[in-house]
Amino acid sequence: MEKPSETQEQEPSSTSLPGHQNWIAEQDLLREKLIREDSFTWKIPEDGCWDWEEGLLRYVGGVDISFSKDEASMACGTLVVLDLRTLQVVYEDFSFVNIQVPYVPGFLAFREAPILLEILEKMKKSGSSFYPQLLMVDGNGILHPRGFGLACHLGVEANLPTIGIGKNLHHVDGLNQSRVRELLEAGENSCKDFINLVGCSGHIWGAAMRSTQGSIKPIFISIGHRISLQTAIKLVQMTCKYRVPEPIRQADIRSRDYIRKLKINMRMK
DNA sequence: GCGACAG
DNA sequence: ATCTTGTCGC
């Protein structure tokens, strides 16, 4: 199978022009480790049960990255952990770094995963008792051209159950804005809160959900790693105070806040 | 060939 | 992702 088709190696630092073949190869390789079903030891707390027992899911993480408007390459990676019982933040950490890797649709993980993995690893090494049992990611899971978005990438590399949350639809397998509207409205005449995203091929890529009553714009849920779509949807519903589930919303808010405060400090100097 | 394209 | 104020409504 050794086929030296890559006789024209590009610069190691720059991305290879022929469609990012290296990145595609890495995604294909990592995808072999992907687990698309529930694979965890914890149990989901019953709705309305305030007692907490050992073995229940309690710590849910959320990750996001914000960028500086002035210095487009300066970014703040953020990890927050919420207590599922109260949806309050019990842990937060930031990493302000320079990111040179560009954003290329379909390859978001190569831009954002490294810094997020670093923050996760730092927390794990610290021995914090709040280390997340589940991670929600700002970006898609298998709802992706090659079925391996950022949430899958992070899940496999951190060996954590992950859920992908998209605020916009990444067009895949014939799925587009109008198709989603179609599916959402075709969901009977009832107010079903979510619909499966079925592509032209018949494959189910995830779910579109109107998480808040009266909200027109849905969020897009997809499997990251070690979790089923059914479980993912349930957990998103449990953490949605607003349109975006609280772990991701908090990561987003605090990440922006970090950059905002940083700019204030700049003027003081 | 042209447009679409998570964050 | 980021640039950005007020404003309509429960």
Residues A187-199 have pLDDT tens digits of 654 455 789 999 9
Q: A265 pLDDT band (50/70/90 cuts)?
A: confident
Number of separate domains in chain A:
1
Protein A33 CA to nucleic acid C10 C1', in Å?
47
Residue whose Cα is closest to the C1' of C10: A214
A148: nearest nucleotide, CA–C1' criterion: B6
- CA A269 to C1' C6, in angstroms, rounded, equals 33
Q: Do β-strands A59-67 and A134-138 pair in parallel, antiparallel, or remain unpaired?
A: parallel
pLDDT beyond 80 at A215? no
Strand nucleotide closest to residue A138 (CA to C1'): B7
Q: Is the pLDDT of residue A184 over 50?
A: yes
Nucleotide with the nearest C1' to A176 CA: B4
Chain B: nucleotides below 7 Å from protein CB are 4-7
d(CA A109, CA A236): 22
Is residue A180 situated within a structural domain? yes
Q: Is residue A80, in this structure, part of any structural domain at all?
A: yes
| Residue whose C-alpha is closest to residue A114's, from A144, A154, A75, A73 | A154
Assigned domain for A46 exists: no
Query: pLDDT tens digits for A226-256?
Result: 999 999 999 999 999 999 999 999 999 999 9
Give the closest nucleotide to A139 (alpha carbon vs C1').
Answer: B6
Q: What percent of chain A stands above pLDDT 70?
A: 88
Q: How many CB atoms lie within 10 A of CB A162?
A: 28
Mean pLDDT lowest for which of A27-41, A44-58, A129-143?
A44-58
Gap from A218 CA to C1 C1', Å: 19
Closest CA to A248 of A108, A40, A78, A90: A78
Is A3's pLDDT higher than 80? no
pLDDT category at A2 given cuts 50, 70, 90 is very low
Is A25 within a domain? no
Please name the residue that has the structure tokens 């990251």.
A224
Q: What is the pLDDT of residue A6?
A: 38
Q: Which two tokens stand for residue A143?
A: 């709802």
Evaluate whether residue A95 is within a structural domain.
Answer: yes
Using a 7 Å CB cut-off, which residues contact strand B? A 64-65, 67, 103, 105-109, 138-140, 144, 149-151, 164, 166-171, 176-177
- Structural domain boundaries enclosing A184: 56-268
Residue A233's CATH number: 3.30.2170.10
Q: Is a pLDDT exceeding 60 seen at residue A17?
A: no
Highest mean pLDDT among A6-10, A115-119, A261-265: A115-119
For residue A227, what are the CA distances in angstroms to A76, A115, A153, A154? Answer: 28, 23, 14, 13
- In 3D space, the residue among A233, A226, A268, A36 whose CA is nearest the CA of residue A134 turns out to be A226
**Does residue A1 fall inside a structural domain?**
no
User: What is the 3-class SS of A124-193, one letter each residue?
Assistant: HHHCCCCCCCEEEEEECCCCCCCCCCHHHHHHHHHCCCEEEEECCCCCECCECHHHHHHHHHHCCCCCCC
Angstrom distance, A105 CA to B3 C1': 15
Per the structure, the residues numbered 121 to 180 in protein chain A that have their CB within 7 angstroms of any atom of strand C are 138, 167
In a domain, A234, yes or no: yes
- Amino acid A221 CA to nucleotide C6 C1' distance, rounded Å: 32
Residue A18, domain member (yes or no): no
